[in-house]
């Protein structure tokens, strides 16, 4: 846990998109009148393109949302939380892979933006038909491209050694100690999430086995449950800020015991084997919780 500033950097991500919906006072007033309510009792929202099912260019706008979510998902997967300002820890050993993948995802996001910007005038014209009297020119930006932004910011982790200010030695020492203690606490919190991720991915698998073992023939198995586990254990080494052997060992155990599960394998198990597997899942979850404690 010591020298965290030498093992990782802080990263934050900003993605901005044009909001496709806006509150409509007129719609709210109509709802209030319809229900005999006072003005302000209802609020109405209008879709600026005239509705997801109506505008034939909606798929272009939806593609941007999907690509933005892909970026956020990968960003959160590869990092751990740090403080409350949106910054997250990225281990130095994972930086090259992270940067490469993020450049690729950024390219896909910007490509989707470019495709939408291209058809925006037509989408806007079509929205006039769908919105009718609720259409307002003021709702649409003159430069739609300016409403989109993708940015990754990087900064070093500041420690008590980094003070270069004109203060009394006693003040510097006290502030340095406070900052180092803060970093220690934040590092512990980051590692806590790494263990909690394991529990989070094992829980739905355990719930599935509990349903099966209780005789629920309608219990549904989703292959994504196991894929999520395998994805997590692959990324765990790049989240292990403190080089915790217990975390690495637990990830290996989880992959070995549950990483190859499938619907076919579960169906082929007898009742006793399913009960054993359910207990193994409980043990793995309790082990993660015990280490956290």
Neighbours of 1 (CB within 10 A): 13
Q: Please tell me whether residues 201 and 253 are part of one structural domain.
A: yes
- Packing angle of the helix pair 169-213, 223-235 (nearest 10 deg): 150
Q: Please tell me whether residues 90 and 183 are part of one structural domain.
A: no
Q: Please tell me whether residues 151 and 220 are part of one structural domain.
A: no
**Which pLDDT value is given to residue 170?**
56
Give domain status of residue 162, yes or no.
no
Owning domain of residue 271: 169-292
Ordered alpha helix ranges (H), 79-168:
95-131
Taking the whole predicted model, whether its pTM rises above 0.85 is answered as no
Read off the pLDDT of residues 266-279 as tens digits, 9 standing for 90 and up: 989 999 999 999 99
Read off the pLDDT of residues 64-97 as tens digits, 9 standing for 90 and up: 999 999 999 999 999 999 877 789 999 999 999 9
Q: Please tell me whether residues 273 and 191 are part of one structural domain.
A: yes
Give domain status of residue 164, yes or no.
no
- Positions in the chain short of pLDDT 70: 1-2, 28, 31-32, 42, 160-179, 293
Give domain status of residue 259, yes or no.
yes
Q: Please tell me whether residues 53 and 139 are part of one structural domain.
A: yes
Q: Please tell me whether residues 186 and 208 are part of one structural domain.
A: yes
Of 124, 157, 190, which marks where a domain is finished? 157
**Which pLDDT value is given to residue 167?**
47
Q: Convert 192-216 to b/e letters by CB count within 10 Å (16 or more is b).
A: ebbbebbbebbeebbebbbebeeee
Give domain status of residue 214, yes or no.
yes
**Which pLDDT value is given to residue 160?**
57
What are the C-alpha distances in Å from 33 to residues 22, 135, 175?
A: 20, 21, 60
Read off the pLDDT of residues 133-165 as tens digits, 9 standing for 90 and up: 888 999 999 999 999 999 999 998 877 565 445
Contact in structure between 65 and 18 (CB atoms under 8 Å):
no
Q: Please tell me whether residues 183 and 135 are part of one structural domain.
A: no
Contacts for 104 with CB less than 8 Å, ≥ 6 apart? none
How many domains does the chain divide into?
2
């Amino acid at each position: 846990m010591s020298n965290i500033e030498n093992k990782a950097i802080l990263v934050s991500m900003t993605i901005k998109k044009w909001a496709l919906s806006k509150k409509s006072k007129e719609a709210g007033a109509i709802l209030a009148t319809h229900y005999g309510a006072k003005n302000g009792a209802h609020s109405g929202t209008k879709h600026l393109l005239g509705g997801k099912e109506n505008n034939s260019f909606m798929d272009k706008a939806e593609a941007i949302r999907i690509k933005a979510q892909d970026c956020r998902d990968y960003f959160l997967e590869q990092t751990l939380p740090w403080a409350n300002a949106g910054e997250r820890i990225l281990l130095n050993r994972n930086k090259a892979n992270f940067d490469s993948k993020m450049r690729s995802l950024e390219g896909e996001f910007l490509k989707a933006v470019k495709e939408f910007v291209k058809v925006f005038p037509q989408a806007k014209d079509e929205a006039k038909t769908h919105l009718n009297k609720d259409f307002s020119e003021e709702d649409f930006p003159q430069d739609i491209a300016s409403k989109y932004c993708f940015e990754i910011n990087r900064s070093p982790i500041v420690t008590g050694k980094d003070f270069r200010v004109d203060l009394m030695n006693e003040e510097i020492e006290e502030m340095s100690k406070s900052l180092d203690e803060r970093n220690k606490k934040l590092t512990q919190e980051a590692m806590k999430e790494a263990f909690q991720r394991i529990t989070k991915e094992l829980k739905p698998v355990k719930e599935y086995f509990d349903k099966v073992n209780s005789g629920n023939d309608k219990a549904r198995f989703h292959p994504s449950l196991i894929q999520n586990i395998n994805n997590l254990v692959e990324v765990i080494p790049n989240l292990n800020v403190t080089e915790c052997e217990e975390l690495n060992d637990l990830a290996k155990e989880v992959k070995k015991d549950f990483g190859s599960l499938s619907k076919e394998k579960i169906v082929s198990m007898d009742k006793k084997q399913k009960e054993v597997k359910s207990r193994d899942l409980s043990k793995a979850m309790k082990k993660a919780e015990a280490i956290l404690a």
